[in-house]
Chain A
Amino acid sequence: MTQTMTAAEVVKAARSDQKVTGPELINGLVTDFFELHGDRLGSDDPAIIGGIGRFHGQPLTVIATNRGATPEEKMATHFGCPSPGGYRKARRLMEQAAHFHRPVLCLVNTPGAYPGQTAEENGQGAAIAQNLLTLSQLPVPVLTVIFGEGGSGGALALAGGDEVWMLAHSTYSILSPEGFASILWKDSRKADQAAELMQLTPTALKQAGMIEGIIPEPRDHQKVIAAIDKVIAPRLQALQQLTVPALLAKRQQRYRKF
């Protein structure tokens, strides 16, 4: 039961190997999925999987983070930390979705954007920044589900849209609790204490008005997929009823209040 979990326990559950994965969610939520690779600027980051598919019969663009299943995949995806090319692939697919008037569904579970020399050289900051600009003006509905870790700017780059929902055992934060404790108290062992303070659990975030709601997370992955579907299907439908100016005004307002 979520209500009885401490923030540190939620952090642990969000990082669990037993969690539903990005590819599982895509296959469970979307039919006729067709993956689209590459950022068209020289790279294809496996930490971001994107493509088109049908959601309740209707075409939609889906973008998911991928932590990899095998050791090789985990290395290639940097354990789910996207590189600039991943964010640029996501941005390309968002713009394509806008061009063809289909909504965008983002599925996020990432410790954060990858911190590496090549990532810096290729403009990790700029890649995320451009996604934020694109998201704020994208003329189609964008809905995000955080299904594990929502790590900082690396998660925000896929969560700056109309609505953000979270699975019960997930987190969304400015930094890992370990990093937070290390910066503020010079002691990463105080991570559990940091977690309590950071308002990173779905319950705390809902209370602070940061997210639209919490999706229950049973152990069985098929049930998790069904629970997500049940929540997002009516939400996507409702967002699609809005005119573009109304949608964008509502989105602007969502962030303006923070």
Chain B
Amino acid sequence: MKLYEKANTLSERVVKVDPQADERVPEGIYRRCPRCQTVFAAAQMDQYQTCPQCEYGFRLAAAARLAWLVDTAEPFDQDLQTKDPLAFPGYPTKVAQAQARTGLNDAVWTGQATIADTTFYLAIMDPTFIMGSLGTITGEKLTRLIERATAQRQPVVIYTASGGARMQEGIHSLMQMQKVAGALAQHHAAGLLSIVVLTDPTTGGVTASFAMEADLTLAEPRSLVGFAGRRVIEQTTHEQIAHDLQQAENVLRHGFIDQIVPRAEQRTVLVQLLKMGGRQDDANNDSC
């Protein structure tokens, strides 16, 4: 049975493997697009971190997005501290690690921002902070931002990126959906403009609340936008679902997104919409 002996196989006899080869290739020199599977040199990626082949926007920490999106940014509510309402084992440590990594107190950056001479209130969810999940402080920061915007009669722009509810906060997380919705409803009732930009991934309780409640709904190319997780759907229905079911382009085809806007165009598009999308008789002053 010499045929089956390892020393007799092609790889052992002919192919010289250099076990150190991997170590000499620096980390992150190549990237693979999770959507179109194209492998490309990381150096090919522009400042927006998009796939050169299909325009998919790689997941961005809030700080990285803020760097190219706005000209000035003044943060709000950075002092709020995440609670541990269920006394969930290991949760405070997980939060502390995410805080150290992102420089945020919770899964969303909020503040006042400008692009050129246009001022607005801005929220950017951070998918690297416990999957951008909707914790109590995430909801509180969003609610305070929207309430301030209502009081100051300012438009609101929200970038969503979330795995959904924050499991470790249980029912307290669920209540954030209604809390933020309440603030948005008041903002809307005051005649003010809200814009949501759906980014990869926007799912679960965030999709089922403020991600789908703005006046204008934009999305980044090929981002995942959905309610239930793919695995949950397949286990429930015992059917394989279409690969693009929850891709922004398909969600747009079904009528839930106004337009797909690549990152490179977002500054221009936001200014345009902020200037013409709201009431023209309410130029940030008087009235009401």
Tell yes or no: A107 within 8 A of B by CB.
no
A255: chain B residues within 8 A (beta carbon): 175, 178-179, 182
Stretch at the interface among B40-48, B109-117, B227-235: B227-235
Which chain A residues (125-159) contact chain B, with CB distance < 8 Å?
125-126, 128-130, 132-133, 135-137, 152-153, 156-157
Contact B85 A208 (CB under 8 A): yes
Contacts of A125 in B (CB 8 A): 204, 207-208, 211-212, 226-227
* B175:A153 contact, CB within 8 angstroms: no
Residues of chain A within 8 A of B104, CB atoms compared: none
- Contact between A198 and B241, CB atoms less than 8 A apart: no
Which residue in chain A gives the minimum CB-CB distance to B246? A120
What is the CB-to-nearest-CB distance from B178 to chain A, in angstroms, rounded to a whole number? 5
- A117 neighbours in B (Cβ, 8 Å): 233, 237, 239, 241-242, 245
Which residues of A sit under 8 angstroms from B287, Cβ to Cβ?
none
Instruction: Tell me whether A175 is interfacial, beta carbon within 8 Å.
Output: yes
* Cβ B170 vs Cβ A200 within 8 A: yes
- Shortest B164–chain A CB gap in Å is 9
Residues of A close to B213: CB separation below 8 A: 129-130, 132-133
Question: What is the chain A residue whose CB lies nearest that of B172?
Answer: A258
Q: Is there a chain B Cβ closer than 8 Å to A173's Cβ? A: yes
A interface size (C-beta, 8 A)? 46
Q: A258–B255 contact, CB under 8 A?
A: no
Residue of A whose beta carbon sits closest to that of B181? A132
Q: Is A124 an interface residue (CB 8 A)?
A: yes
Does A29 interact with chain B (Cβ within 8 Å)? no
- A199–B242 Cα gap in the complex (Å)? 36
Q: Does B93 contact A (CB under 8 A)?
A: no
A133 x B227 contact (CB < 8 A): no
B209 touches A129 (CB 8 A): yes
Expressed in whole angstroms, the minimum distance between the Cβ of A34 and any Cβ of chain B is 30
The residues of A that contact B212 with a CB separation of less than 8 Å are: 123, 125-126, 129-130
A160: CB under 8 A from chain B?
A: yes
**B15 in contact (CB, < 8 A):** no
Question: Size class of B's contact patch?
Answer: 35 or more
Residues in B neighbouring A129, C-beta threshold 8 A: 181, 207-213
Binds A, one of B4-12, B21-29, B184-192, B261-269: B184-192
Question: What is the minimal beta-carbon distance from A240 to any residue of chain B, in angstroms?
Answer: 21
Task: Report A-chain residues with C-beta under 8 Å of the C-beta of B211.
Answer: 125, 129
* Distance, CA A252 to CA B179, complexed state (A): 8
The answer on a CB contact under 8 Å between B208 and A124 is: yes
| A132 touching B88 in the complex, CB below 8 Å, given contacts A117-B237, A123-B256, A199-B171 | no
By a CB distance below 8 angstroms, the chain A residues around B255 are 123
**Given contacts A116-B236, A128-B209, A133-B185, are A121 and B228 in contact (CB under 8 A)?**
no
Partner of A133, one of B86, B171, B184, B239: B184
A119 and B254 alpha carbons, distance in the complex (Å): 11
Closest CB of chain A to B166's CB: distance in Å?
8
Complex Cα distance, B255 from A222, in Å, reads 45
Most interface-central of A114, A129, A173 (chain B CB within 10 A): A129
| Proximity string of chain A (166-197) to chain B, C-beta cutoff 8 Å, 1 when within and 0 when not | 00000011110001100110000000000001
- 29 A-B pairs (CB sep. < 8 Å): A113-B208, A114-B236, A115-B228, A115-B233, A116-B236, A117-B239, A119-B227, A120-B233, A124-B208, A124-B227, A125-B211, A126-B207, A126-B256, A129-B207, A129-B209, A130-B212, A132-B208, A132-B209, A133-B184, A135-B181, A136-B186, A137-B185, A152-B165, A156-B177, A175-B165, A184-B168, A198-B86, A199-B171, A256-B143
B binding-site residues for A, Cβ under 8 Å: 85-86, 88, 136, 139, 143, 165, 167-168, 170-179, 181-182, 184-186, 188-189, 204-205, 207-213, 226-229, 232-233, 236-237, 239, 241-242, 245-246, 250, 254-256
Q: Residues of A with Cβ closer than 8 Å to B?
A: 113-117, 119-126, 128-130, 132-133, 135-137, 152-153, 156-157, 160, 172-175, 179-180, 183-184, 197-200, 205, 208, 210, 251-252, 255-256, 258
